[in-house]
Amino acid sequence: MPHIELRDVSLTYDTPAGRVLGLAGASFDIAQSEFVCLVGPSGCGKSTLLNIIAGFLAPTAGEIRIGGKPVTGRGMDRGIVFQDFAQLFPWRTALRNVAFGLEMKGISNPQRERIALEQLRLVKLEKFANAYPHHLSGGMQQRVAIARALAYDPSVLLMDEPFAALDALTRDDMQRLLVDVWQASRKTVVYVTHNVSEAVYLADRVLVMTPHPGTVKYQVPITLARPRDPLSVAFIDYQKELLRQLSQTAEPKA
Amino acid sequence: MSTPAERIRSLRRLATSLLLATLLYEGLARSGAFASALLPTLATVARALIDGVLDGTLLAHAVATLYRVLTGLALAVGIGLPLGILMGRYRPVEGFFLPLASALMPIPSLAWVPLFILWFGLGNATAIGIVCYAAIFPMLINAWSGVRAINPLWLRVGSAMGAGEGTLFWKVIVPGAFPFLVAGLRQAFLRAWIAVVGAEMLAASDWGLGWVIFDAKEFLKADVMLAALAVIGFIGFAFERLVFGALERVTVERWGMVRAGKG
């Protein structure tokens, strides 16, 4: 049984210019512990779709189920990481940021710290447990955000271009680290990106989205063994295929 | 955080400007251009100040004034802070209270003194009421602005991690708005301090630094007036440096939400 099921998920919203169909009938399944990347040009509705899965937005039609249960709003079965470094609470140390979700679950303080420290160790930041976010680099802040989203043990990790604002070298490190973390935690991951090579590096399966109205047009399972070599022929072939799909689905220039 | 070297430099700057100002005053006082009863020399003022401190009267007056300031300020914070946060958070609350605040805010607090005297009589109640009136608006407006300036991601992340409205309030909104809350508290204290002296001149009987100044006028004691002014200035300065400076250092500066000093 798939862990996440989307059936005909659509979203319309009102703008001054009238009704706009943002998402049109997105349907797909994601298996337990699968790593899925949503790829598409900007404005195709991939972040909107992620926000719907997160429960921040309610779809105007269609249904989403996680673990068989319909999604009606935000829930602690999902953890979320955004692109913006400012998502961390600046008034909390790295450790207490990670512990926030555990606090909400009512877990006792010593246990909270133990789990949070464990999560920080997973992202290799246990030495910075007592640092405030403004003393951490962008990459470190994103690692804290990942640890925070995993700490209260959701079954699904939702990521909205978490590494898009990092420099290329840090991004490569972060991608490697994320694969390690995912393999250790076996979460189901939905990862939004517009970076094709990132998608090929990370995903078990890439879903390609098209804009106006946004929908999932095409999917590419990536069967390369991990760790993946971004310079291998097979890797580059996947990239080419995805780019071809993206350019086919892109709007013709006016 | 300021380094010891920076702190020494800032102290030296402070000493220099104070020294220059006092020298200028002393020169003027000794020049003979004004009657010495109107512009007493620093030595005379210092004597009045020391006498007042030694016989305890000036301290008792200062305590009376501080009591009024702090009580009025506590009331203003107790009302203005939660109300400002609620206004920032809920549109209907904002819709109801913002026009009210906008209409009341421009009225000088001292303009209320005669009415307050009729309502509450001479004394503490009126002075505290005036202080509260003066301090509540900066607190309210800053809390309101602070909530609206909160990064929406914090609210989103907080609620995604299971925080309800009450938890969000204490664990996200209040700390998230903290730079504004500290600024509001600072301004509120300043306004309170300004208002209390005026209120005491008009409404206090027998006690308070404002009353000391007003009373000294009757006896043409410029030295006592200046001594009381010095105490007012000193207490305000001490609060600004010690209380608010420290509050800022251990909170928003440590969290990197405001930059420490310049640079």
CATH number of the domain to which B174 belongs:
1.10.3720.10
pLDDT at A251: 55
Residue A73 has pLDDT above 70, yes or no: yes
The range of the structural domain enclosing residue B81 comes to: 56-253
The secondary structure of residue A75, as a DSSP letter, is -
* Same domain flag for A242 and A119: no
Would residue A92 count as lying in a domain?
yes
3 state DSSP class of A251: coil
HSE at residue A253, side-chain half, CA atoms within 13 A, is 1
Domain membership flag for residue A15? yes
Contact across the interface for B176 and A91, Cβ inside 8 Å: yes
The more confidently predicted of residues B2 and A133 is: A133
Burial class (CB in 10 A: 0-12, 13-18, 19+), B86: middle
The stretch A164-190 carries a mean pLDDT of 92
Could you say which of A90, A105, A133 has the minimum Cβ distance to residue B162?
A: A105
Phi then psi for residue A39, to 5 deg, are -120, 140
The answer to whether position B201 is within a domain reads yes
Q: Is the pLDDT of residue A124 over 70?
A: yes
Claim to verify: residue A69 and residue A141 sit in the same structural domain: no
3-class state of residue B250 by DSSP: helix
Residues of chain B in contact with residue A133, where contact means CB-CB under 8 angstroms, are: 256
A56 and A103 inside one domain: no
Q: Is the pLDDT of residue A224 over 50?
A: yes
pLDDT score of A254: 42
Judged by a CB distance cut-off of 8 A, whether residue B198 touches chain A is no
Residues B93, B95, B100, B101: is their CA dihedral positive or negative? positive
B120 touches chain A (CB under 8 A): no
Q: Which of A56, A90, A104 sits opposite B161 (nearest CB)?
A: A104
**pLDDT tens string B100-117:** 999 999 999 999 999 999
Number of structural domains chain A divides into: 2
Q: Give A-chain residues touching B162 at CB under 8 angstroms.
A: 74, 76, 101, 104-105, 152
Q: Which residues pair with A7 in a beta bridge?
A: A63
- Domain range for A135 is 80-153
**What pLDDT score does A131 carry?**
95
Backbone angles phi, psi at B39, to 5 degrees: -125, 75
Question: Mean per-residue pLDDT for A180-197?
Answer: 93
Q: What residues of chain B score a pLDDT lower than 70?
A: 1-2, 260-263
C-beta of residue B115 within 8 angstroms of C-beta of residue B129: no
A70/A192 same-domain check: yes
pLDDT confidence of residue B94? 95
What is the per-residue pLDDT for B2?
62
Contact at CB, B176 and A100, closer than 8 angstroms: no
Judge contact between B58 and B228, C-beta under 8 A.
yes
Backbone angles phi, psi at A101, to 5 degrees: -60, -35
Q: How many domains does chain B have?
A: 1
Residue B259 is predicted with a pLDDT of 73
Q: Does residue A176 form part of some domain?
A: no
Q: Is residue B3 included in any domain, yes or no?
A: no
Residue A180 lies in a domain: no
Measured in degrees and rounded to the nearest 5, phi and psi for residue B41 equal -70, 165
Inspect the interface and report whether the beta carbons of A101 and B161 lie closer than 8 Å. yes
Looking at residues A26-55, what average pLDDT do you find?
90
Query: Do residues A186 and A15 make contact, with C-beta atoms less than 8 angstroms apart?
Result: no
- B111 exposure class (CB count in 10 Å sphere: 0-12, 13-18, 19+): exposed
- Whether A169 is in a domain gets the answer no
Predicted TM-score (pTM) of the model is 0.85
Task: Identify the residue whose tokens are 């097979």.
Answer: A234
B33 DSSP 8-state letter:
S
> Which among A203, A195, A237 has a CA at the least distance from the CA of A219?
A203
- Domain CATH code at residue A71: 3.40.50.300
The span from the CA of B152 to the CA of B164, in Å, is: 15
User: Are residue A135 and residue A69 in the same domain, yes or no?
Assistant: no
Nearest to A132 among B161, B167, B256 (CB): B256
User: Residue A249: pLDDT above 70?
Assistant: no
* Mean of the per-residue pLDDT values of chain A: 91
Query: A160 pairs with which residues across the strands?
Result: A192
Reported as a pLDDT band with limits 50, 70 and 90, residue A242 is very high
Task: Please check whether residue A231 lies inside any domain of the structure.
Answer: yes
pLDDT at position A252, please? 53
Facing residue for B160 by CB, picked from A54, A86, A134: A54
Cβ-based interface (< 8 Å): residues of A facing B: 54-56, 74, 76, 78-80, 82, 84, 86-87, 89-91, 100-101, 103-105, 132-135, 148, 152
Q: Alpha carbon of A116 to those of A110, A124, B260: distances in Å?
A: 10, 12, 30
Say if residue A70 is in the same domain as residue A1.
yes
